Amino acid sequence: MSTTKSAPAENALLASQAQLSVGDYASNYFRRVRAGDLGALPIVVGLVIIATIFQTQNENFLTARNFVNLIVQMAGITTIAIGLVYVLLLGEIDLSVGYVSAVAGVTMTLLLKGGLHPLSFVIWILGLFGIDPATLESLNFQLPPLPWFGAIPLALLVAALIGILHGSIITRFQLPAFIVTLAGLRAWNGVVLILVGEGGTIVLQDKVAIGIANTYLPAVWGWIVTALMVLLYALAQFAQIRTRRRSNLAHTPIFLVLLQVLFLAVVAAAAVYITTQDRGVPVIGLILIILLAGFTYLATSTRFGRYVYAVGGNREAARRAGIQVDRIRVYVFMISSLMAGCGGLILAARLRSVATDAGGGNLVLNSIAAAVIGGTSLFGGSGRVVSALLGALVVASVENGMGLLGLSSGVKFIITGLVLLVAVLVDAISRRGRAQSGIA
């Protein structure tokens, strides 16, 4: 009885929300900012500070050539960080992404080159259990060189299977993801060393594979592709408004959507203009935008994405709501390893080779830092896929600027660590502010 009476009032409330004015929307935004929901504001401020500091120290920082270099340099980290955003949304961590990316890069290179022994590693493992490897050599064989459209999917499949393995172990035995992926970090490092062998470096020679990170669009095509992307973004935004209007739900005022589209168009046009002053728009930059759009749609507009946020927000509540929590966790670790594999292919293409040190160094630190600095919470349930791009831009800008200044590795590690610490502190303060104000 009471439910029937409250329905008209609820519909009226929804209708009033759907008619939010620009002033109301602005008031709500500033209220969220005061409550600690800062969004991308710290990133924007941070990038301005970073650009100002490095430009005053080295006039080459804000040049067209360095801007193009920055896009290529941040591509690998951004791709890996996209997968890590999903893991962090669950409140988990994946420490294996660096060497998983290396496994994918080495696998692609070996498949393109030919001569890969697919059973050699299995035979080596059996030898550890007392089985004479010589008796199994007859089962081994070499794969012929594969074309790029065969080698790249197979390398990504290997990466995805690694993620499924990690996720299955974590959920089946209820182990901490930290421990399982730490073990994966060491194990896949060993696999890379075995695959690369004593040579130390394998040169990547396939033109298509190399072109992933070393191809640039002519100026005309850069403008055409950018215009199409801005148009698609505008159509997607207005389609979302129409859908929410039909459901009588609140939506962003059309005037603000127009401003967003205009702002995106200006930023995109500026980026294209700057890149055309050097080598042109990097193809890898367009690939990044496509990946960001696809995984943003997956996170915000699909049932799977809603389940990821629900599990990260409250795992037990999600379980009681009927969500297959363990299955979602396995899928997320698969996504993490798959995107790590994509990052590995990009890094291999950029360096035009793979080596025994692939996946090492500060790759894991930078990838996790990119996701966290971009605004993804370490506590789960809060963050956006675009965090990967924003955070990677900060990390890559800092690394690029320090490289131009010729700073030592020790100083680089200290500064990168401090930037990550500041990002975590901002996340903790923002989270506390939202909790006190009642904002989820």
Residue 203: strand pairing partners: 353
| pLDDT of amino acid 17 | 46
Strand partners, 282: 216
Question: 120: which 2 tokens?
Answer: 């050699």
CB 334 within 8 A of CB 92: no
Residue 366 · residue 416 · CB < 8 Å: yes
Q: Which helix (H) or strand (E) holds 353?
A: strand 353-355
Q: How would you label 107-128 residue by residue, b for 16+ Cβ within 10 Å and e otherwise?
A: bbbbbbbeebeeebeebeeeee
Instruction: Categorize the per-residue pLDDT at 28 as very low, low, confident or very high, splitting at 50, 70 and 90.
Output: confident
Which tens digits make up the pLDDT trace of 1-11? 444 444 444 44
CA 340 vs CA 84, 101, 161, 334, 364: distances in Å: 9, 5, 12, 10, 10
Torsion 303-309-311-316 (CA) sign: negative
pLDDT tens digits for 240-271? 888 888 888 777 788 888 998 999 999 999 99
In contact, 381 and 118? CB cutoff 8 Å: no
Domain 39-218+280-437 listed as CATH 1.10.20: no
Q: C-alpha distances in angstroms, 86 versus 90, 221, 320?
A: 7, 33, 21
pLDDT for 16 equals 44
Helix (H) or strand (E) holding 418: helix 409-437
Q: Of 116 and 184, which is predicted with more confidence?
A: 184
pLDDT at res. 316: 94
Q: What is this structure's pTM?
A: 0.89
- How is the chain split into domains, by residue range? 39-218+280-437
Q: What is the torsional sign of CA 235, 238, 244, 245? A: negative
- For position 11, what pLDDT does the model report? 45
More confident residue, 15 or 395: 395
Q: Which percentage of the chain shows pLDDT scores above 70?
A: 84
pLDDT for 244 equals 82
